[in-house]
C-alpha cells in the first residue's frame, strides 16, 4: 500500500507570522491564497523583492517591533504602541528613548535575569539529585 501525501498548506496569516512580516503589507496574491510548506520554504530560502523590502523597512508586526526595541509585546501596549511600525519609526524610538521604553527595557532585563536565576537553580537541583 502506498500512502499519498497531500501538500501541507497554511493560511496567509500563519505564513506571514512564520516569515516575520505584517500580513496587511504583503501583496494581494499572498493575502488571498494559501501557502504550502514548499512555498514557505522557498520564500525563506530565496525571498522575493517584496519580502526583502518588508523585512528591511516594515511595517513590522508587533512581535518584531518588540524584539527590535528589546521589550515585551505587553510592554509595547503599555507604551501605547498598538500599530505596526516601520524600521524608521523604530529607529526614531531608539534615538528618542521615551520614558516608557526605558522602563520596559529595564523590566525586560529583570525578567531575563530572573529566568537565568531560575534556570541555574533548577540545574543545581538536578545536580544534587
Residues 77 and 33 grouped into a single domain: no
- Looking at the structure of the chain, the number of domains it has is 2
Residues 63 and 53 grouped into a single domain: no
Q: Is the pLDDT of residue 86 over 80?
A: yes
Residue 129: which pLDDT band, with cuts at 50, 70 and 90?
A: low
**Is the pLDDT higher at 18 or at 6?**
18
For residue 75, count other CB atoms closer than 10 A to its CB: 20
The model carries a pTM of 0.77
Distances (CA, A) of 122 to 109, 112, 128: 20, 15, 10
Instruction: Write down the pLDDT at residue 6.
Output: 65
Residue 66: which pLDDT band, with cuts at 50, 70 and 90?
A: very high
Can you tell me the distance from the alpha carbon of 19 to that of 48, in angstroms, rounded to the nearest whole number? 12
Residues 64 and 105 grouped into a single domain: yes
Grid cell in block for residue 68:
527590535
Instruction: Write down the pLDDT at residue 8.
Output: 86
Over residues 48-75, mean pLDDT: 93
Amino acid at each position: 500500500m502506498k500512502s499519498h501525501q497531500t501538500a501541507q498548506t497554511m493560511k496567509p496569516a500563519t505564513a506571514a507570522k512564520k516569515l516575520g512580516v505584517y500580513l496587511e503589507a504583503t501583496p494581494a496574491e499572498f493575502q488571498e491564497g494559501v501557502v504550502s510548506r514548499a512555498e514557505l520554504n522557498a520564500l525563506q530560502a530565496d525571498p522575493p523583492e517584496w519580502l526583502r523590502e518588508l523585512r528591511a523597512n516594515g511595517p513590522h508586526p508587533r512581535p518584531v517591533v518588540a524584539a527590535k526595541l528589546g521589550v515585551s509585546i505587553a510592554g509595547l501596549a503599555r507604551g501605547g504602541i498598538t500599530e505596526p511600525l516601520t524600521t524608521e519609526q523604530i529607529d526614531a524610538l531608539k534615538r528618542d528613548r521615551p520614558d516608557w521604553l526605558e522602563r520596559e527595557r529595564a523590566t525586560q532585563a529583570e525578567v531575563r535575569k530572573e529566568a537565568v536565576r531560575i534556570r541555574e537553580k533548577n540545574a543545581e537541583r538536578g545536580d544534587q539529585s
